[in-house]
Structure 1
Amino acid sequence: MRPPRPQGFPNIAGQLLNRPLAIHPHKAEVLVCALQQRLGIVEMKTIDGVTLEAKEMLDRADFARKDALARDATYSPDGSKPYRMDGNIAVITIEGTLVQKAGWLDAMSGFCGYNMLQRQFEAAFEDSDVLGIWVEIDSPGGSVAGLMQFVEFLAMHTQSMGGKPAYAWVNEMACSAAYAIASVCDKIFGPRDATVGSIGCVMVHTSLAGALEENGINVTVIRSGERKYRGNQYEDLDDATMEKFQGAVDATRITFANLVAMGRDIPVDDVLATEADWFEGEEGVRLGLMDEVLTERQAWTRLEDEVDRIKQERRRAA
């Protein structure tokens, strides 16, 4: 199987701008800054935490693109597994901003694609050598596009649905879309400073109308059909479009909350009551968003014990 062809920032921007997002608010600022800079919408003229992170993202993306193109030119499948194995445990890492089609914009450049994650999990669920899956997560979330389909697939193949045990380890952060993935794993563990939650949705709209007017640029939108091209960056949002965008994010939040309620076996009203806030360690456990605060070694041992139990059951059945 050949690796995905380069998609690039225009493709990513299409998923992240004017679309519902399940992402930590700070990371949303960084993404918008990086995408606007790369697409020529704004220039980075100030130095702060957001612009520094955006600059780092762009630099990493440039390096990842060159590296991926070089590898693609000489790509030769070797039949190796698309994940690291430790005994009978497959280790799958979810890191960076989540999008539907990341292409070469992988974790090295700060992005992770649902399509590639699904391929990894499909292979792990089908692999007879794999008896358990360790899901290491450090992600602020990302695009809603592609998320629900992937999470539903994952939920249907975990131990609770008769498949293989999947234990999520929050290696710093599992927020928004990343928490949606964690929530359907059989267990969620993390250290005391693990950050989870942000069960909500946001949409970012950029209007250039003021900047264009200030620079003496007049953009005329000629439309056939009153709703055609509404929500574009050249016009301020009209009331009907704002209402439509608000409806989209509200509906996504409800779907997200129901998903978490199912995966974590807690009332949906309790999930909605978090108001899309994020929580650390023990507070996440108290709210039912995590199972327990443990060290990585302790959490790994829990999965090893479950894998040993499965081995014993198979031996007895044989």
Structure 2
Amino acid sequence: MRAIGTGPRSFPQIAQQLLDRPLLIHPHKAEVLICALQQKLGIVSMDTIDGITLDAKAMLDRAALARDAVRDRANGKTFHVDGDIAVIPIEGVLVQKFGWLDPMCGFTGYDALAIKLRDAMRDPDVYGIWLDIDSPGGAVAGLFAFVEELAQSAMSEGGKPIYAWVNEMACSAAYAIASVCDKVYGPRTAMCGSIGSVIVHTEISEALDESGVKVTIIRSGERKYRGNMYEPLDKQTAAKWQASVDEAGQWFAKLVAMGRGVDADAVMATEADWFEGAEAVTRGLMDEIVAEREAWGRLEEECDRIKRDRRNGR
């Protein structure tokens, strides 16, 4: 099995996973993310559409200060433990490869989540898994492989119950993860959904013209390096990207329909909108609005039942 790296990926590597590729991410967070990455990479200084300058640099600079989080120092495991329950936080922007086991610096890697899940499923002292989710979503790459593994774990006969706690956002890719868990609970302010896909493309040719900078692109092959930021987006590339996000959106809708037991057409009819509290429950995206303590208690009860069954040889 591939080992986790010794530190977080560089910002150019993260950018490669998030720019000009299908994303399952809440739209406002997409704007914040792109501005932050562009500023960090030194591409161009950008403001939000309402003119508020984003101070995301401080968030991203925490990567340089982050310490190795390969294991919980209190128990030597790759996940936190509370009683018989493994607690796995899913926070910030989700990416395919990040190389850390904890959601530091505003990113969580699917690679790290997969390792935690496997370890928790194998651990004989763990009887249940609690996913604490507060994420707007992220990259498509790596998501469906992780969600498929999670779904198989949740649905396995004699397996361990997996609860998703929406604390306070599970949108786009984060909701894809929540949707295949055994239960999805959250408070009245929980936000779920955004079941759709998007590609974010930045084009700065006019800004370069205004600054007197000329970029020359020399190609071998007409389609080479199309969709770059230095030229206007051509129709063929736009069409290919539209087909890509449509396909990802359809996969997403089928996944939610399977995990939540709802009609796929009804999922597509949400038009990738997000829903809070009671409406999320009405649409089948959450099981119930409950206090965190009550949801946790229900998982503890399931764990106790599993222990009793094992003692009785069932």
Normalising by structure 1, report the TM-score. 0.92
User: Which position in structure 1 is the counterpart of 2:66?
Assistant: 67
Identical amino acids, percent of aligned pairs? 61
| Cα distance in 1 for residues equivalent to 2:179 and 2:42 | 37
Structure 1 letter corresponding to 2:134: D
Which residue number corresponds to residue 16 of structure 2?
14
- 1:113 aligns to what? 109
Name the structure 2 match of 1:135.
Answer: 131
Change (3 A) 1:279 1:100: same
Letter in 2 for 1:32: I
- Supply the AA of the counterpart residue of 1:21: L
Counterpart-to-counterpart distance in 2, 1:207 and 1:164: 47
Structure 2 residue aligned with 1:240: 236
The 1:122–1:172 alpha-carbon spacing in structure 2 relative to 1, beyond 3 Å, is same
The one-letter amino acid of 1:227's match is R
Equivalent position of 1:180 in the other structure: 176
Tell me if the contact between 1:33 and 1:50 (Cα under 8 Å) persists in the aligned partners.
no
Distance in 2 between residues matched to 1:95 and 1:131, nearest whole Å: 23
Q: Secondary structure at the match of 1:157?
A: helix
Is the contact between residue 100 and residue 112 of structure 2 (CA under 8 Å) also seen in structure 1? no
- Superposed counterparts of 1:1-318, under 5 Å: 3-44=5-46, 51-52=53-54, 55=55, 57-68=56-67, 71=68, 80-103=76-99, 107-159=103-155, 162-317=158-313
SS at match of 2:153: coil
- Give, in angstroms, the shift of residue 316 of structure 1: 1.3
Q: CA deviation at 1:106?
A: 5.4
CA distance in 2 between partners of 1:157 and 1:209 (Å): 48
Q: Alpha carbons of 1:280 and 1:50: their partners in 2 closer, same or farther (altered >3 Å)?
A: farther
Conserved in 2, the CA contact under 8 Å of 1:30 and 1:50?
no
CA offset at residue 108 of structure 1? 3.1
Read off the aligned partner of 1:65 and give its amino acid letter.
A
Contact 2:186 2:277 in 1 (8 A): yes
Distance in structure 2 (CA, Å) of the matches to 1:51 and 1:294: 37
Range that drifts further, 207-216 or 57-66: 57-66
Task: Note if contact 2:89-2:102 (Cα within 8 Å) is conserved in structure 1.
Answer: no
SS at match of 2:229: coil
Partner deviation per Cα, 1:12-55 (whole Å, 9 max, x = no partner) = 10011100000000000000000110111112578968633xx2
| CA–CA separation in structure 2 for the residues paired with 1:49 and 1:287 | 35
Mapped to 1, the partners of 2:116 and 2:93 lie a distance apart of 17
Aligned equivalents of 2:66 and 2:188: distance in 1?
36
* Unaligned stretches of 5+ residues in structure 2: none
8 A contact 1:198–1:277 mirrored in 2: yes
Is the contact made by 1:160 and 1:186 (CA closer than 8 Å) also made in structure 2? no
Q: CA deviation at 1:226?
A: 1.4
* Gap regions ≥5 residues in structure 1: none
SS at 1:96 equivalent: strand
Describe the SS at the equivalent of 1:317.
coil
For residues 145 and 189 of structure 1, what CA distance do their matches in structure 2 show?
26
Alpha-carbon distance in 1 for matches of 2:238, 2:23? 16
Distance 2:122 2:237 in 1: 45
Provide, for residues 187-244 of structure 1, a one-character-per-residue CA deviation record: whole Å limited to 9, x for no partner: 0000001000000001111111111111222212111111111101111111100000
- The 8 Å contact of residues 90 and 134 in structure 2, kept in 1 or not, is answered as yes
Give me the CA root mean square deviation. Answer: 2.3
CA distance in 2, matches of 1:233, 1:196: 32
State the SS of the aligned residue for 1:307: helix
In structure 2, the CA distance between the partners of 1:152 and 1:166, relative to structure 1 (3 Å rule), is same
| Whole-angstrom distance in 2 between the partners of 1:105 and 1:188 | 23
2:242 partner SS:
helix
Q: Structure 2 CA distance, aligned partners of 1:45 and 1:253?
A: 29
Instruction: After superposition, give the CA deviation of every residue in 1:249-288 in whole Å (9 maximum; x if it has no partner).
Output: 0000000101111110111001101110000111011101
| Paired residue secondary structure (1:22) | strand
